[in-house]
C-alpha cells in the first residue's frame, strides 16, 4: 500500500477488565472443552473396552503419551510461556507491518524446529522407549512379556511421532487465535481427534477379539491400524483450525526466516527459562512413567494414565478456559504497566477457577472408586482391575485445587514474562514429586505416584501464591473473595450429602452401581445449588440498607 503510513495498531480489548467479557469467553471455551473432554472420556472407555488393562494397553498408552512429552520439550512450554504475551505485545504497541513481521519470524522458526525434531525423534524412537523401561527389572514370564511390550511400544511410537509436528501446528494456530481474542473454536476441534480414535479402536476390537502384545507383533496390520489411525485424528484436529485461522485475519503471517529478529531473540531469552522448567517437568514425568512400568498390579501404566486423564477433565474444562481468556488481558495490562487492572483480572480469574474446582474435586474424591468401576469395569476389565485407577483418582482429586492454582499462577508469571520465577517454582514442585514417587511407589504402587503428585502441586501452589502476593499486594478485600467463601461452604454441604448418598448402597457392579453413582451425583448437585441459592439470598438481604424513618411530618 504505497502512499500510506503505518500507524501503531490500536489496543484490542478494554483497558479495564469487564466481567461480562470474561464470562462469555470462558463460557464458550468451557462448553467446547467440556464437549471435547466428554468425547475424550468416551475415547478412554473405548480404549479400556478394546485393549483392557493388559500389556498391549500399557504399550499403547506409553507410546501415545510420548509425543506429548516430546512436543513439550521441543516447543510446547515455550509456546505457552512466550508466544501469546509477545504476540499481544507486538499487536498492541507496534505498527501493523512491524507486528506481522515479528510474528512471522517467530512462527517460521517454530515450524523449522518442529520439523527437525519430528525427524530426529522418529529415528531415535527405540532409545526413547528403552529409557522408559529402564526401571522394569523382572524375571521369567514377566521379563519376556516386557520385551514384547517394549517392541510394540517402539513400533507404535514410530507411527505416533508425526503427532509432535501436528501438535505444534495446533498450538501455533491456537496462540495466534487467542492473541486475536478468538478462543472458542480451538476448544471444539479435539472432538474430531477423539471421534477418529474411537472409530479406530472399535474397528480394532471388531477385527481382533483377544489382543495381546505377541499377536500385535506377529500381525503388523494391527499396529498399523492403531498407530496410523490415532495419528490421523491429530492431523484432522490441526486441519479443522484452518477456517477459523483464515476468518481471524491471520493470513498476513508468512514464511519469513529471520532468526536474528528482536522478537525471536525475546522468545529465546524468555524461552530459555521456560525450556528449563519444561525439561524438569518431562524428567519428572519420565520418572513417574518409568516407575509405573515397573510397579505392581494389572496394567499400572494404563491405571496411572486413566486416573490422571480423568483428574484433568475439570481442570481442562474450567481452569484452562479461564486461563486462556485471562492471559491476553494479563499480557496487555502488564505491557501497559496497568498494575491495578492486572491485579483485578488475576484475582477474578483465580476466584473463578477455584469456585468450580472445589466442588468438582470433592465430588471426584468421594465418587472416584465407584465411578471408575462403572466407567471402566466393563469389557475386558473387571472391577478388581479398576481398584488402583479409582484409588489413584481419589488421591489426585485431593490435589486438584493445588494443581489448578499452581498452573494458573505460572500462566500469570508467563504473562508478566517472568519465566525465571516459574522455573524455580517448577523445580521445587518436580523435586518433591520425584523424591516422593521413588519413595512411595514400592509400598503403594500407582497410589504412591498419585500421592507424590498431589503433595508436590499443593506445596508449589502455596509458594506461587505467596510470590504473587509479594509482588501484587492483597488480592482484593473480603468482598472480592466472598463468592469463593460461599462456594466453599456449599461444597462442604455437597460433600456430606454425596458421602451419605454413596454409602446408602454398597453396589459395585451392574445396575446397582449405575444407580449409586448417578443418584449420588444428583443429590450432591441439588444440595450444592440449594446451599448456594440460600447463601446468595442471605448476602442480598445483608446488603439491603435498613429503613430509616425521619421525624414526623408537620402539617
Q: Which of 476, 499, 517 is the last residue of a domain?
A: 476
Same domain? 378 vs 502: no
Same domain? 398 vs 441: yes
Same domain? 156 vs 291: yes
Same domain? 231 vs 340: yes
Long-range contacts of 88-94 (CB under 8 A, 24+ apart): 88/179, 88/328, 88/331, 88/332, 88/335, 89/331, 89/332, 89/335, 90/263, 91/9, 91/12, 91/179, 92/9, 92/11, 92/12, 92/332, 92/335, 92/336, 93/8, 93/335, 94/8, 94/9
Same domain? 202 vs 103: yes
Same domain? 524 vs 434: no
Same domain? 382 vs 508: no
Same domain? 384 vs 507: no
**548 within a domain of the structure (yes/no):** no
Q: Which of 476, 493, 528 is the last residue of a domain?
A: 476
Instruction: List the domain range (segments joined by +) for residue 218.
Output: 19-476
Alpha-helical segments (H) within 52-74:
55-71
Same domain? 436 vs 536: no
The three cell numbers of residue 127 are: 532409545
**110 within a domain of the structure (yes/no):** yes
Same domain? 405 vs 515: no
Same domain? 367 vs 492: no
**8 within a domain of the structure (yes/no):** no
Q: What is the largest CA-CA distance in the chain?
A: 107
The answer to whether the beta carbons of residues 190 and 39 sit under 8 Å apart is yes
**5 within a domain of the structure (yes/no):** no
Per-residue pLDDT of the chain in tens (555 residues, 90 and over written 9): 334 333 333 334 333 444 455 566 667 777 887 888 888 888 988 888 888 777 788 889 888 888 877 766 656 555 655 666 677 777 767 777 887 888 888 888 888 888 998 899 899 888 888 887 666 555 444 566 677 788 888 999 999 999 989 988 888 888 788 777 777 888 889 999 999 999 999 999 888 877 777 777 777 788 899 999 999 999 999 999 988 888 877 777 778 888 888 888 877 776 677 777 777 887 888 888 888 887 777 678 888 888 998 998 888 877 887 887 788 788 888 888 888 888 888 988 898 899 989 999 999 999 998 998 888 876 344 555 678 889 999 999 999 999 999 999 998 998 887 888 988 999 999 999 999 999 999 888 899 999 999 999 999 999 999 999 888 887 766 666 777 788 889 999 999 999 999 988 877 777 888 899 999 999 999 999 999 888 777 766 666 555 454 555 454
Same domain? 187 vs 319: yes
Q: Which of 436, 460, 476 is the last residue of a domain?
A: 476
User: How many domains are contained in the chain?
Assistant: 2
Amino acid at each position: 500500500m504505497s502512499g500510506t503510513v503505518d500507524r501503531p495498531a490500536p489496543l484490542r480489548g478494554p483497558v479495564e477488565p469487564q466481567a461480562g467479557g470474561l464470562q462469555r469467553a470462558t463460557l464458550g471455551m468451557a462448553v467446547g472443552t467440556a464437549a471435547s473432554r466428554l468425547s475424550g472420556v468416551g475415547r478412554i472407555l473405548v480404549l479400556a473396552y478394546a485393549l483392557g488393562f493388559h500389556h498391549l494397553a500399557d504399550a499403547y498408552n506409553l507410546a501415545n503419551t510420548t509425543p506429548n512429552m516430546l512436543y513439550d520439550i521441543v516447543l510446547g512450554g515455550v509456546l505457552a510461556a512466550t508466544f501469546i504475551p509477545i504476540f499481544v505485545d507486538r499487536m498492541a504497541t507496534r505498527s501493523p507491518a512491524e507486528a506481522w513481521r515479528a510474528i512471522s519470524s517467530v512462527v517460521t522458526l517454530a515450524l523449522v524446529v518442529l520439523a527437525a525434531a519430528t525427524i530426529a525423534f522418529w529415528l531415535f524412537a527405540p532409545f526413547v522407549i528403552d529409557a522408559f523401561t529402564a526401571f522394569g527389572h523382572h524375571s521369567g514370564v514377566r521379563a519376556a512379556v516386557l520385551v514384547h511390550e517394549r517392541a510394540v511400544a517402539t513400533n507404535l511410537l514410530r507411527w505416533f511421532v508425526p503427532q509432535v509436528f501436528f501438535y505444534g501446528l495446533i498450538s501455533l494456530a491456537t496462540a495466534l487465535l487467542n492473541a486475536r481474542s478468538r478462543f472458542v473454536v480451538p476448544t471444539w476441534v479435539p472432538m474430531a481427534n477423539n471421534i477418529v480414535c474411537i472409530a479406530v479402536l472399535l474397528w480394532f476390537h471388531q477385527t481382533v477379539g483377544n489382543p495381546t502384545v505377541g499377536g500385535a507383533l506377529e500381525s503388523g496390520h494391527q499396529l498399523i491400524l492403531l498407530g496410523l489411525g490415532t495419528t490421523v485424528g491429530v492431523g484432522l484436529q490441526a486441519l479443522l483450525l484452518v477456517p477459523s485461522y483464515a476468518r481471524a485475519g491471520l493470513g498476513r503471517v508468512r514464511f519469513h526466516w529471520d532468526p536474528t529478529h528482536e522478537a525471536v531473540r525475546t522468545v529465546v531469552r524468555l524461552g530459555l527459562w521456560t525450556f528449563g522448567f519444561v525439561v524438569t517437568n518431562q524428567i519428572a514425568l519420565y520418572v513417574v512413567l518409568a516407575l509405573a512400568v515397573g510397579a505392581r498390579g494389572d496394567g499400572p501404566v494404563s491405571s496411572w494414565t486413566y486416573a490422571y486423564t480423568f483428574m484433568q477433565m475439570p481442570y481442562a474444562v474450567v481452569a484452562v478456559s479461564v486461563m486462556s481468556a485471562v492471559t491476553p488481558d494479563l499480557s496487555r495490562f502488564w505491557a501497559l504497566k496497568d498494575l491495578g487492572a492486572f491485579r483485578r483480572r488475576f484475582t477474578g480469574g483465580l476466584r473463578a477457577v477455584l469456585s468450580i474446582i472445589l466442588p468438582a474435586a470433592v465430588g471426584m474424591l468421594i465418587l472416584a472408586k465407584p465411578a471408575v468401576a462403572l466407567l471402566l469395569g466393563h469389557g475386558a476389565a473387571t472391577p478388581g482391575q479398576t481398584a488402583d485407577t479409582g484409588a489413584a483418582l481419589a488421591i489426585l482429586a485431593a490435589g486438584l485445587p493445588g494443581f489448578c492454582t499452581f498452573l494458573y499462577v505460572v500462566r500469570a508469571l508467563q504473562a508478566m514474562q517472568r519465566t525465571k520465577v516459574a522455573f524455580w517454582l517448577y523445580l521445587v514442585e518436580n523435586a518433591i514429586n520425584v523424591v516422593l514417587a521413588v519413595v512411595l511407589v514400592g509400598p503403594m504402587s500407582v497410589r504412591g505416584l498419585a500421592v507424590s503428585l498431589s503433595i508436590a502441586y499443593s506445596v508449589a501452589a502455596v509458594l506461587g501464591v505467596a510470590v504473587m502476593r509479594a509482588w501484587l499486594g492483597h488480592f482484593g478485600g473480603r468482598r472480592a473473595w466472598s463468592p469463593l467463601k460461599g462456594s466453599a461452604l456449599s461444597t462442604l454441604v455437597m460433600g456430606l450429602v454425596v458421602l451419605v448418598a454413596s454409602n446408602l448402597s454398597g453396589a459395585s457392579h451392574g445396575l446397582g452401581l449405575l444407580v449409586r453413582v448417578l443418584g449420588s451425583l444428583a443429590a450432591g448437585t441439588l444440595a450444592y445449588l440449594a446451599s448456594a441459592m440460600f447463601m446468595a439470598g442471605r448476602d442480598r438481604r445483608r446488603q439491603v440498607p435498613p429503613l430509616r424513618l425521619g421525624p414526623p411530618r408537620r402539617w
